[in-house]
Amino acid sequence: MALDFQTPVPIVDGTTITREEFTEQYAKPQKPVVLRGLWKQYPAYTKWTMDFFRQTMGSIEVGLFGNRKEDLSKTLQVPNAVMRFDEYLNLIEREPTDLRLFLFPIFKHRPELLKDFDYPKITSGYIKVPFMFFGPPKSIVRMHQDIDMCNVYLTQFHGRKRVVLFAPDQSDLLYRLPFNVHSTVDVDNPDYEEYPGLKYVKGSSTILEHGDTLFMPSGYWHHIEYLEGGFGLSVRTLAHTLPMKVRGVYNLTIQRTTDNLMRKMNDKKWFEYKKSLARERAQKAMSRIGLQA
């Protein structure tokens, strides 16, 4: 049985939606939406291609991460390969490797690229630190919440991406690892013996195309699959509620420090402990809603 995430994320015309419509229908109620073609208004939409990046910044060395499906106890803090950017772009156009370029601060290398776009007027209060993400065909960004609990606006350029989303109130049923913002479940191959709570989660999914922006409200879980090799950019705004803002600060400070420290002390044991806590929480969540494992 497949996990329940076939409900499509709503898609609206990003070229015509007003700020008021976006605020009332999506930002305030914290509902995800695809803003189709929102970025068509900016020069970056046509200018930023694989060739453009190869020609303008091909010699930069980039740190790459594997999808680490093989070792779910690891976080993405230390790259597992370094390569010239143009070689990496050639690679992801050519073949499904495992290597992704994650949270790439491209604008530190080339600040002039910031002139190629503006921050969409559908909202305000952007944290003006955009990041880019590059990945090969079939690569997976395993399921996680963003640690700072911000609202995320993820725009797609080259290639398409499949995104699966779950609301933050599903965290226990998704076996969120305590002291962490990851889950060990594989949304495409759910193991209901190991994770019975998964029978009760309800999510949504979509496919992002060139120029689309996906609004992911604070704390939304996301699992991403690159259908083709390609790249995207994310910008963020602070969480709408005080508890989510506090949660973000807590995650970035106390939680992260504790997790790093415990991992250094005894990685394996700590990981097993977190998994057992996650199981307990899922069990309690199922009892709360009157469900049986």
Ligand X SMILES: O=C(O)CCC(=O)C(=O)O
Binding part of the chain for ligand X, among 66-74, 83-91, 146-154, 281-289 by CB under 6 A, reads 146-154
Nearer Cβ to ligand X (123/283):
123
Binder of ligand X out of 65, 133, 215, 220 (CB under 6 A): 133
Q: 10 Å Cβ neighbour count for 258?
A: 14
Q: What spatial distance separates the first Cα and last Cα of the chain, rounded to whole Å?
A: 15
What CA–CA distance (Å, rounded) separates 149 from 87?
Answer: 34
Q: Does 224 bind ligand X (CB under 6 A)?
A: yes
Task: Output phi, psi for 223, to 5 deg.
Answer: -125, 130
Nearer Cβ to ligand X (156/282):
156
What CA–CA distance (Å, rounded) separates 167 from 171?
Answer: 8
Nearer Cβ to ligand X (122/140):
140
Binding part of the chain for ligand X, among 133-141, 193-201, 255-263, 279-287 by CB under 6 A, reads 133-141
7-45 b/e with 16+ CB inside 10 Å = b? eebeebebeebeeeebeeebbeebebbbbbbbbeebebb
Amino acid at 139: S
CB-based closest residue to ligand X: 133
Nearer Cβ to ligand X (126/273):
126
Residue 21, phi-psi category: left (phi > 0), alpha (psi -120 to 50), beta (remainder): alpha
Binder of ligand X out of 86, 98, 146, 148 (CB under 6 A): 146
Q: Does 180 bind ligand X (CB under 6 A)?
A: no
Nearer Cβ to ligand X (154/282):
154
Q: Does 135 bind ligand X (CB under 6 A)?
A: yes
Q: In terms of Cα–Cα distance, which of 67, 81, 267, 80 is closest to 180?
A: 267
In angstroms, give the least distance from the CB of 1 to ligand X.
26
Binder of ligand X out of 122, 141, 150, 198 (CB under 6 A): 141
In angstroms, give the least distance from the CB of 141 to ligand X.
5
Q: Does 234 bind ligand X (CB under 6 A)?
A: yes
Binder of ligand X out of 12, 27, 44, 154 (CB under 6 A): 154
Please answer whether residues 229 and 101 qualify as being in contact, where contact means their C-beta atoms are separated by less than 8 angstroms: no
Each residue 246-275 as x (binds ligand X by CB under 6 A) or -, in order, gives: ------------------------------
In angstroms, give the least distance from the CB of 103 to ligand X.
8
Q: What is the DSSP letter of 63?
A: E
- β-pairing verdict for 33-36 and 11-13: parallel
Mapped onto helix, strand or coil, the DSSP state of residue 217 is: coil
Q: Does 232 bind ligand X (CB under 6 A)?
A: yes
In angstroms, give the least distance from the CB of 21 to ligand X.
24
Tell me which residue has tokens 């994770």.
Answer: 195
Helix (H) or strand (E) holding 282: helix 256-288
Nearer Cβ to ligand X (36/222):
222
Q: Does 152 bind ligand X (CB under 6 A)?
A: yes
Tell me how many residues contact ligand X (CB under 6 A).
Answer: 10
Tell me which residue has tokens 């019975």.
Answer: 196
Which residues would be at the binding site for ligand X (CB under 6 A)? 133, 135, 141, 146, 152, 154, 222, 224, 232, 234
